[in-house]
Structure 1
Amino acid sequence: MALRATIYKADLNIADNDRGYYGSHAVTVARHPSETDERLMVRLLAYALWVQADERLVFTKGLSDTDEPDLWNLDLTGAVQQWVEVGLPDDRRLLKACGRADQVLVMAYGRGVDVWWAGVRHKVARANNLQVFALDAEATKALAALAGRNMNLSINITDASAWVSCDQGDVSLDVRVLRDDVRI
């Protein structure tokens, strides 16, 4: 018998001081049986960072469907405007995404980020719609400790940093730009 996804509910109170966006979002996220708390929380953070661009950004089937990203924004015709990957995707997946979407965003995390980026950066050099960001491994582990089935998270974004707080504690994460002149 296959394991089922676990449902997480989160109320996100987002204050993006850099872009002047302030909003509250109630989201439901399905956590795949093989997904870690760390990956789940990085997906939530990616949502908070990029939802202000267009509130049609939604969670997809993620790990359950290899043809979909972790988050995406579809226009009214079904065309992909934003494709958001979390983790360390391979270069073929990124190039395929760049061909399907107007904008591809990657939120890389984990101890192997620099090794991963050194291996794929030249292979994706021709993709002009790709932006890559990275999070510190220790900070994402601390972020994972905030995970719960029902979360009320306050996320404050200022000067390329995100501060996430809830009843269980708070975590500060620096968002490092690996590729693009765009600031978070």
Structure 2
Amino acid sequence: MALKSTIFKAELHIADLDQNYYGSHALTIAQHPSETDERMMLRLLAFALNASETLEFGRGISDEDEPALWQRSLTGEVERWIDLGQPDEKRLKKAANTAGEAVVYAYGARGAEVWWQGVSSQAARHGNLKVYAIEADTMTALASLTERTMQLHVTIQEGAITVSSEAGSVEVALKALQ
């Protein structure tokens, strides 16, 4: 018998002073049985960092043809493709060629550095691709905020990112790789 996804509810309150975006989103997140709390919380953070009314979660881990998140136009064209982790060169190319903008949030401690060394020359060919790395300590801290029902507040001001809830507060530093 296959394991079922765990359902999480998140009320995400975003105050992005850098992009002049302020909004609240009631989100239902299905955590795949093989998905860690760190990755799920990174999906929520990626949502907050790229928030719009048309941004939605993809099938992610369970469907390799879709990104973790994406934003599509009313005609179905992919405007923004957001991946997490360490996608291979083929997937980076697909993301950059499919969407107007592609974003990758890489994580995995030392593994992310090794991954970036291997794909950076291919990634440089895509002007619409942005790649950020997140430290392992930050991922662990984000996971500590995980609850089945969450109220998260994300504040972005002058590049500083803070995620807070009743469980605590995390300062997030993104390292721009490209």
Question: How far apart, CA to CA, are the structure 1 residues paired with 2:156 and 2:140?
Answer: 19
Question: How far apart, CA to CA, are the structure 2 residues paired with 1:142 and 1:121?
Answer: 27
The 5-angstrom pairing of residues 52-71 of structure 1 reads 54-71=52-69
2:98 to 97, 100, 113: 100
1:90 to 88, 91, 101: 88
SS at match of 1:127: coil
The one-letter code matched in structure 2 to 1:105 is V
Number of aligned positions between the proteins:
177
TM-score (norm 1): 0.93
The 8 Å contact of residues 134 and 178 in structure 1, kept in 2 or not, is answered as yes
Question: 1:59-90: per-residue Cα shift (whole Å, max 9, x none)?
Answer: 01111101000000111111111100011111
TM-fit CA distance, 1:175: 1.3
| Correspondence 1:131 to 2:127 | no
Question: 1:136-170: per-residue Cα shift (whole Å, max 9, x none)?
Answer: 11011111011111100011112222111111111
TM-score (norm 2): 0.96
Runs of 4+ in 1 over 6 A off after TM superposition: none
Partner in structure 2 of residue 182 of structure 1: none
SS at match of 2:152: strand
TM-fit CA distance, 1:124: 2.0
- Give aligned-pair identity as a percent: 50
Gap runs ≥5 in structure 2: none
Question: How far apart, CA to CA, are the structure 2 residues paired with 1:177 and 1:160?
Answer: 11
Gap runs ≥5 in structure 1: 180-184
The one-letter code matched in structure 2 to 1:115 is V
The one-letter code matched in structure 1 to 2:74 is L
Question: How far apart, CA to CA, are the structure 1 residues paired with 2:107 and 2:31?
Answer: 18
The 8 Å contact of residues 160 and 176 in structure 1, kept in 2 or not, is answered as no
RMSD across aligned C-alpha pairs, in angstroms? 1.0
Question: How far apart, CA to CA, are the structure 2 residues paired with 1:162 and 1:110?
Answer: 20
Partner in structure 2 of residue 144 of structure 1: 143
TM-fit CA distance, 1:8: 0.8
Question: 1:9-45: per-residue Cα shift (whole Å, max 9, x none)?
Answer: 1001111121222111111111100000000000100
